[in-house]
Amino acid sequence: MIERGPLVRHDPIVRTLTIAGTTDLSPGFRRITLTGTELEGFTSLGPADHVKILLRDGERRDYTPRTFRPPANDTLAELDIDFFLHGDGPAAAWAQGVREGDEARIAGPRGSHLLPTGANRIVLGADESSLPAFGRWIEMVPEDVEILGFVELDNPSDAAYLDPEHVHRARVVWLDKADGALERAIRALGPLDDATFVWVAGEATTLIPIRRYLRRELGLPRNQVKIDGYWKTGEANRDHHAPIDPDDPED
């Protein structure tokens, strides 16, 4: 029987860090590497953890802490955060404008949801906004658990964001971002047994029919399904903890 991983709380700390460098990973993705003594004690234990990037004018946005490297020998700790550079929002503008040596402030993670237990297969679904968390899932799932991944992209060139070993490990299926493409791919799997866990994240509105299919049509219990709305069209700075489907809240 699948059980969701427990929530591990962390001390709410705001850290002032320095940009150690930037790396363009694909046409749409830029990695910002942060460093500084205040990274001491940083902890991120779950694949879908998030930190808040504190931007100018009080703006803040949630991003996945992609990779944390503890201090070694005479080097400071480093934290990679990957940004999808879409639109003209404040976070994308910040990521495109920062330079090595600039200051950055982050807060969190406030907590980590650990991996579910009892699954022998994990189905992952993502768009560009959730690809960093998608990559963390692939890295953290034990080798004896099967992974099947679906990714919707506007620009096929952004497939370069994922390491080829991750693509192979998760047997990633790339989807053109079209109405219902991810839902159709998940429906095509047919009935899901009680040892399959499903995690899907992306634009909140498009996830409503996927959630209804998994929870209501297939009748999967909440312990087998986690749907996260990372963003919502027309809504700035959406709280991804908000219900995906207000007309059908979690039970």
CA gap 123, 72 in Å, rounded: 35
224 and 136 within one domain: yes
> Which CATH number is 54's domain given?
2.40.30.10
Residues 105-120: what's their mean pLDDT? 97
Domain that holds residue 199: 112-231
The pLDDT tens digits of the residues spanning 37-92 come to 999 999 999 999 999 999 877 789 999 999 999 998 889 999 999 999 976 788 88
Instruction: Report which of residues 150 and 90 the model is more confident about.
Output: 150
Domain count, the chain: 2
Report the C-alpha dihedral over residues 77, 162, 242, 194, rounded to 10 degrees: -110
Q: Which of 78, 111, 144 is the last residue of a domain?
A: 111
CB 245 within 8 A of CB 211: yes
* Residue 130 confidence (pLDDT) above 80: yes
Inside any domain, residue 201: yes
Do residues 71 and 160 share a domain? no
245, part of any domain: no
pTM score: 0.95
Burial of 143 (0-12, 13-18, 19+ CB in 10 A): exposed
Q: Indicate whether 104 belongs to any domain.
A: yes
Q: Assess contact for 113 and 45: CB atoms under 8 A.
A: no
Average pLDDT over residues 220-232: 94
Sign of CA dihedral 232, 235, 237, 242: negative
Q: Do residues 83 and 34 make contact, with C-beta atoms less than 8 angstroms apart? A: no
What per-residue confidence (pLDDT) applies to 16?
Answer: 98
pLDDT tens digits for range 168-201: 999 999 999 888 999 999 999 999 999 999 999 9
Among 69, 92, 111, identify where a domain stops.
111
Between CA 71 and CA 55 the distance in angstroms is: 26
CATH code for position 193: 3.40.50.80
Q: Is 81 in the same domain as 102?
A: yes
In a domain, residue 247? The reply is no
- Of 111, 128, 146, the residue at which a domain comes to its end is 111
Cα–Cα distance measured from residue 238 to residue 202, given in angstroms and rounded to the nearest whole number: 12
